[in-house]
Chains A and B, each alone.
Chain A
Amino acid sequence: MSGLWRVLSLPMLIFLSLPILALFLRISPADLLENLRQPEVLQAIALSLGTTLISTMIIILAGTPLAYSQARGQFRFSRLVDTLIDLPLVLPPAVAGVALLMAFGRRGILGGVLDDLGIHIAFTPIAVIIVQVFVAAPFYIKSAALGFSNIDQELEQSAALDGASSPQIFRFLTIPLSWSALLVGSVMSWARALGEFGATIIFAGNFPGRTQTMPLAIYIGFELNLDIAITLSVILILLSFLALFVAKYILNRDWMSS
């Protein structure tokens, strides 16, 4: 029976892996390394890595309190808040881009005020980071909230009875106990931020070295130089695969031990 299932699962597996394989077959390792030396390729990689690193850090710093209060608090609007957190996951990227323009654009609700203060967001790496935080934060928040809610609350309560302050409890109890969920969430958020395209081209624009991340360079570049687009695609796939694989390894190890 299990043999039959395996045979039946082959078509889908082949379908999913064929395009990836085709990309890798299209370019020789020598050409790949050669293209890697092109300044626009390096610029795009550097910008992508830099912005996603910052956006992931912001997501962790600002997302953790939200995740914790979602996991602990049974406040009145927690279901509403939960749905709001999910929303960026299902929004078309174009909607996210337009919405961000309305909020942070030069004539936007907040952007107008910031522009008067001399802070320009549109067409800068800051815009790229804002987009990434918006679309990628839900992955971390969901994972972290799940991790927090799996902790036995009695543990935290007894630590409090023993005189531990709440920052101490969080630092020495909550974080270590939900460590893998936090790490997996961060990795997933980072991978999503790395692949962000649609909202970025609308909200942040396209300028090499400033707002042209790897996905934008692939999209704009593929009409001009297919080889460069393929090189960047291969790197993007390798990075994403590595991230997902690490996340799954951590999750799996965690399940085995618990």
Chain B
Amino acid sequence: MSSPLSRLKFITILVVILGAACGELSDTNSVKNLRKQELTIYAAASLAEAFTRLGEVFESSHPNVEVVISFAGSQQIAQQLSQGAPGDLFASANAKQMENVISAGRVMSGADQELIQNQLMIILPGDNPGEIAGVRDLIKPGLRLILADKTVPVGLYSQEMLERANQQIGFGEDYKEKVLGNVVSYEENVRAVLTKITLGEADAGIVYVSDAAGAQGEDIRMIPIPEEINVTASYYIAPLRDSSEKDLGLDFIALVLSPEGQDILNGYGFMKLGQNE
């Protein structure tokens, strides 16, 4: 049994150690505060790799800055921002979620700019279990298709693409209906669609061209969607109204819109602004 004295000793030692640890922590923190500024960015899940790279480029030209990026479905971020999440920049995968944040008062109306464009693509597991050769095969009976939910930008774009196919000769008026009949799951973000196709859980999915490009090396196949029915997704970026690093935020936007930034994004499968015209 431990005597009261040894217990007291133990507690004393513990307090001393904890105190030392706390002291050390606050020391490094204060040094950090002197040295580092933080730029907090909320970005659409589809921008993950490209923005991580852009963050590194930004840090190398701004040695005192640490770029912190939170990636999620744009609709999720819009909710978080509307509820008051603090930060400096918001990059949305569509205009709608940017508008939601503007109407919540977190971004000044007119402060948002078009950032980059993207298009849709069909992805399949490497062994193509559904034997799909083109967009028209998405109506094959019994096919297991995954889309993003219509609350997610890419999910809305997918529905729009199917709608456009309905208007085209050669697809048939019930094309959309038949394709939607094959949907087995509406995922919460575009990366969940990609992951489940990579795992071979379903026969086909619709994602952004940039997601498919980023998954090269994985065991998946890609099938392009013809230009006449494909949808061009416009991404938007804006500084948050109550950002504490306004100048840094504008610097980052300038980088993203510069030829260098657009080239980096293009390298991840995005379409540069104006490329489509």
Q: From residue 137 to 170 of chain A, which have CB atoms closer than 8 A to chain B?
A: none
| Distance in Å: Cβ of A215 to nearest Cβ of chain B | 12
A101–B201 CA distance with the chains assembled, in angstroms: 9
Known: A123-B144, A223-B79. A207 touches B186 (CB 8 A): yes
A205's partner among B78, B151, B184 (CB-CB below 8 A) is B184
Give the interface SS of chain B, mostly helix, strand, loop or mixed: mixed
B201 touches A106 (CB 8 A): yes
B111 at the interface (CB under 8 A from A): no
A-side interface size class: 10 to 19
A207's partner among B76, B79, B183 (CB-CB below 8 A) is B183
B167 at the interface (CB under 8 A from A): no
A220 touches B149 (CB 8 A): yes
| Distance in Å: Cβ of B158 to nearest Cβ of chain A | 15
A123 touches B188 (CB 8 A): no
B151 touches A220 (CB 8 A): yes
B201 touches A122 (CB 8 A): yes
A181 at the interface (CB under 8 A from B): no
Residues of B within 8 A of A207 (CB): 183-186
A44 at the interface (CB under 8 A from B): no
B199 at the interface (CB under 8 A from A): yes
A107 at the interface (CB under 8 A from B): yes
| Closest chain B residue, CB of each to CB of A105 | B201
| Closest chain A residue, CB of each to CB of B75 | A223
A210–B200 CA distance with the chains assembled, in angstroms: 20
B-side interface size class: 20 to 34
A240 at the interface (CB under 8 A from B): no
B146 at the interface (CB under 8 A from A): yes
* Most interface-central of B146, B150, B151 (chain A CB within 10 A): B151
A107–B185 CA distance with the chains assembled, in angstroms: 17
A224 touches B151 (CB 8 A): yes
Residues of B within 8 A of A101 (CB): 199, 201
Residues of A within 8 A of B149 (CB): 206, 220
Q: B135-152 toward A: CB 8 Å interface, digit per residue (1/0)?
A: 000000000101001110
Residues of A within 8 A of B188 (CB): 201, 206, 219-220
A206–B152 CA distance with the chains assembled, in angstroms: 13
A106–B196 CA distance with the chains assembled, in angstroms: 10
| Distance in Å: Cβ of A35 to nearest Cβ of chain B | 18
B187 at the interface (CB under 8 A from A): yes
| Closest chain B residue, CB of each to CB of A204 | B185
B201 touches A206 (CB 8 A): no
B187 touches A107 (CB 8 A): no
A105 touches B199 (CB 8 A): yes
Q: A113-131 toward B: CB 8 Å interface, digit per residue (1/0)?
A: 0000000101100000000
A201–B186 CA distance with the chains assembled, in angstroms: 10
A211 at the interface (CB under 8 A from B): yes
The 6 A-B residue pairs whose C-beta atoms are closest, nearest first, are A205-B185, A123-B184, A107-B200, A223-B75, A223-B151, A122-B201
Beyond the given pairs A107-B200, A205-B184, 9 more chain A to chain B contacts, judged by CB atoms under 8 angstroms and listed by A's residue number, are A123-B184, A123-B202, A205-B146, A205-B196, A206-B149, A211-B185, A220-B186, A223-B76, A223-B78
